[in-house]
Each structure stands twice: as C-alpha cells, then as structure tokens.
Amino acid sequence: MIPLSLARIAEVTGGRLAGGDLHRADPQAVVSGEVVIDSRRVSPGGLFAAVAGERSDGHDFAAAAVAAGAVAVLATRPVPVPSVLVADVPAALAALARSVVDALPGARIAGITGSSGKTSTKDLAAQLVERLGPIIAPAGSFNNEFGHPLTVLRADASTRYLVLELSARGLGHIAYLCRVAPPRYGVVLNVGHAHAGEFGGLDQVARAKGELPEALPADGVAILNADDPRVLAMADRTAARVVTFSCAPASDALVRAADIRLDDLGRPGFTLLTPEGSAPVTLRLHGAHNVPNALAAAALARELGLDLDGIADGLRAATARSRWRMEVRQRGDGVTVINDAYNANPESVRAALDALAHLTQGGGRAFAVLGHMAELGDTARASHEDIGEYAARLGGPGLAGLIAVGEEAAPLLDGARRVPAWTGEALAVPDGATALEELANRLKPSDVVLVKASRAAHLEGVAAALLGEAGQ
Ligand SMILES: Nc1ncnc2c1ncn2[C@@H]1O[C@H](COP(=O)(O)OP(=O)(O)OP(=O)(O)O)[C@@H](O)[C@H]1O
Ligand SMILES: [Mg+2]
C-alpha cells in the first residue's frame, strides 16, 4: 500500500474524519498497512473498511479492528474510534484504489474475465508474470466491488504488474471495475452459463464480458479465445490490438496448443505454439480445461515481455494456488478423490466429468457426488437434467454411481434416467453426511470420486472427509 494520511483518505473518498471524543481521528496519522474488510485480518498500520454483510455488520467490529492495530475505520455511520465517514464504502474503496493506480503510472494492469477459469488463469498468469518483476494479483477469487479495489490497494511504488480477476453478475459491473483500475491488457476466456440466470441469457453474458475489451485503450491488447465464437466476436468491440489463442493447432490464432493429451491423473501435456517457436509443456494442474487457461496466461505473459523459455518453464512449474479447483488426491486404500467443490456451472461440471472419465480409463469405477448449480434462473431444471444425462453418458467404463446432494440437485437424476443404456446407480441424498455414508458402503480401491457443486453447497467438506482430513 502507498502510505496515505487520514486527511488524504478523507479527501480522496469525499469523507470526513470522525471518532469518539477521546479518539478523534488524527489527520496526520498515516495508513501504510493493508486495507481489509475482515476484522480478523487487520494488521498494524492498516485500515479497516466496515461493511454490512448478511450475517454481521463490520461497524460492530470497529473497536476490535483499532485494538488490533488499524489506524482508522472507513465507515458509513459513527463508530467510537478514529474513522473516516463516507456515504458508501465500496465507492470509497474504488476511489482510493483509483488514486493508487493514478500514482503508479509505470505499473501495467491486466484484467482477466470469463464465465469459468478466471481464478485458474489468474493464478497461472501470476506465476508467469512474477518472472518479469514485482506483481500484485488477488488471493483466491477477489474479483468484485470489494475484492478488486482491496487487491489494487496492495500495490506500492515497487509494483510493476497488476494481474486482476474481474467478475460480473450483471451489465456494467466489469466496466465499473475497469474504471477502478483501467487495464491495458484484457483477457476474455469464455462465455458460459455461470450466473446466466441473473444476466438473462448467454447473449447478455457476452455483452457483460465484452465490457473488458471495450474498456481497453488503443495501445492496449485484447487477448481473446478464438475457440469461443462469442469471445472472438468481441474483436469488433475494442480499440485495442487483438491477440487470439486456441486449442486447435490448425487455427490461425497467435498462441496455440498441439498434441494435447492427459496423463493418468488427468494432467494435460501439449506443445505450445507461438510466433517465436514451440515448446513442450506439461501442467501440474488437472483437467483439459486448463489448456485454454494456460494459453491465455501464456499470451498475456508474452505481451508483457516474457520469452518462450520463460513461459514454458513457468507453465511447467506452476501449481494450483487457489483451493478446491480440481484437486486430485489418492487415499491410502487407492481410492482417488477429485475435489472440484469450489463452484459449479454447466460448463465446469462437464469439464470435471470429462476429467473423471479420463481418470477411470485405466480401470476403477467412477462416482460423481454433485450438488446443485446455482444462479441458472429459468433454465435451472433443464440444465440439471442435461448434466445428469451427460454424466450417464460418461466415456470410459461409464458412471457407476451418481449421488445428487440436496433437493435442487435431484433433477440431475431425472436426466440420467433418460439414458436407457446407463446401468449405474442413481441416489438422491439430503446432505453431504448422507452422501458420505452411501459412498462408504460402496467405494473400493481404484475407484474415483468427483465432488462438485456450487459454492453454497459447501461440498468441499465431503471431499475432505473422504480423504480423512478435518472438515474446513
Ligand atoms: N476454461 C475452463 N472451461 C470450463 N471450466 C473451467 C475452465 N477453467 C476452470 N474451469 C472449472 O471451473 C471451476 C472454477 O474455476 P475458477 O475458480 O478458475 O473459475 P472462476 O471463473 O474464477 O470462478 P468464479 O466465478 O467462481 O470466480 C474449476 O474448478 C473447473 O472445474
Ligand atoms: Mg474466481
């Protein structure tokens, strides 16, 4: 964080200094630590932004935050400690973040968006760009009106690159994030069904994701997935130079993959093709869907100046930095667990089922423990049925068991039953604990279990229990 006095913070946010009579905010006091919205993460010298959430209100933790070392609290109503009172906390964070960006004209900003794979790609890109110099990238999925400015605020005079994840739940969201930290580089991965219900269909999702290429300047670079027609069409919506990537070796995209194959654990290997030459790459990440993510990261790092060797070495060395995305682990008894419980939408469940099919190719039975996919709107029932059908048609030896967790996931089973040739077992269970009991009676060495659902279902606990880990 660039050190800022409370007077300056008030000026930038249009706020006013306040506090209890004994604790008036000192205009000269300087914030030099992190800005956080979780009072448990306050560090000395930092700023605590009080946000009213569904379960608790950050204002109630204002005193605790200052006791833990926060210089002041950014708040919307009076608190008994030094504070900057503002009308709207997200808007104040945005204004602060923008002032930091404006103070760092030498830092190059990249934004990554898409329906699936933002965090995976951001983590890959960060591990490449780190080779070029000091970088700020969000932890996990810090990609909305809170996480985005909080991430930007971590930048300081030494920062050369910001690699940011941009999410949208509606039109205008990405445009807003792009005003907070105007990117010169923009990556669009795909247009899929994540949050499609809230948007009102795929065309609206495409309109929203296209706000990133639209926000790029003429001297910027739009990095687009040539394999997704809705993404490629965004080439017409940007003033920036367009660079494409593709998993089809014969494509005319600039960065491509040839000879894509998966090892026994579903880790992709491929030949990376770039204008500067080609290089063999094997990823440590699981699932074929990480190939386009790796190409996107490679294309971005290439634009930022990383050479082919650096890109290929970086991709080979890159590890999963954010949890519960295609974690593949084997138990002592030989059962393999795929923990992909971070989130779910139709495209990502298909990708995970493909990985499950691949992992059972060498023998072993496939089980899928699936919770519901949230935020699909009117298409929810049909989407669940389609995924159930897709699961029942799984390649390799086929699916031995489909366990649908929770009422909203039950239509998965209706879809599976549409496949007469499917001989696997269909089970509806109310919760994760029951899913575990059912699995315990069935699992044998060399079986593979996929665990996946939307975030709200918290199925990572099922995966942890299967692996004998404490719940998290
Ligand atoms: N390119 C891709 N295509 C389809 N599915 C993908 C792709 N990349 C990742 N996934 C799937 O999506 C899940 C979530 O990945 P990731 O967290 O990277 O996405 P995200 O876009 O950041 O999600 P969120 O919107 O929740 O932030 C992964 O576990 C994986 O199953
Ligand atoms: Mg994410």
Q: Is the CB of 194 under 6 A from ligand 1?
A: yes
Instruction: Indicate which ligand has the atom closest to the C-alpha of 123.
Output: 1
Q: Is the CB of 351 under 6 A from ligand 1?
A: yes
Atom of ligand 1 nearest to the CA of 326: 29
Rounded distance, CA 467 to CA 15, Å? 50
pLDDT (mean) for 409-420 = 96
Q: Is the CB of 293 under 6 A from ligand 1?
A: yes
pLDDT at 20: 65
* Ligand 1, atom 5: closest residue by C-alpha: 348
Q: Is the CB of 141 under 6 A from ligand 1?
A: yes
Q: Is the CB of 343 under 6 A from ligand 1?
A: yes
Residues in the chain: 472
Instruction: Indicate which ligand has the atom closest to the C-alpha of 295.
Output: 1
pLDDT above 50: residue 472 = no
Ligand 2 centroid to Cα of residue 253, in Å, is 25
pLDDT at 21: 62
pLDDT tens digits for range 374-403: 988 888 999 999 999 999 999 777 899 999
Rounded distance, CA 257 to CA 269, Å? 9
Ligand 1 centroid to Cα of residue 348, in Å, is 6
Query: How many other CB atoms are found less than 10 A from the CB of residue 333?
Result: 10
pLDDT above 80: residue 182 = yes
The mean predicted confidence, pLDDT, of the chain is 94
pLDDT tens digits for range 344-357: 999 899 999 999 99
pLDDT above 50: residue 411 = yes
- The dihedral built from the CA positions of residue 459, 463, 465 and 469, taken in this order, carries a sign that is negative
pLDDT tens digits for range 290-319: 999 999 999 999 999 999 999 999 999 999
Q: Is the CB of 354 under 6 A from ligand 1?
A: no
pLDDT (mean) for 115-121 = 95
Q: Is the CB of 344 under 6 A from ligand 1?
A: no
Helix (H, G, I), strand (E, B) or coil at 190: coil
pLDDT at 27: 92
pTM summary value:
0.89
Evaluate whether 401 touches 427 at the Cβ level (below 8 Å). Answer: yes
pLDDT (mean) for 141-151 = 92
Rounded distance, CA 371 to CA 402, Å? 11
pLDDT above 90: residue 322 = no
Atom of ligand 1 nearest to the CA of 165: 22
Pairing of strands 221-225, 185-188: parallel
Tell me, what DSSP letter sits at residue 2? -
Which residue has 């049925």 as its token pair? 385
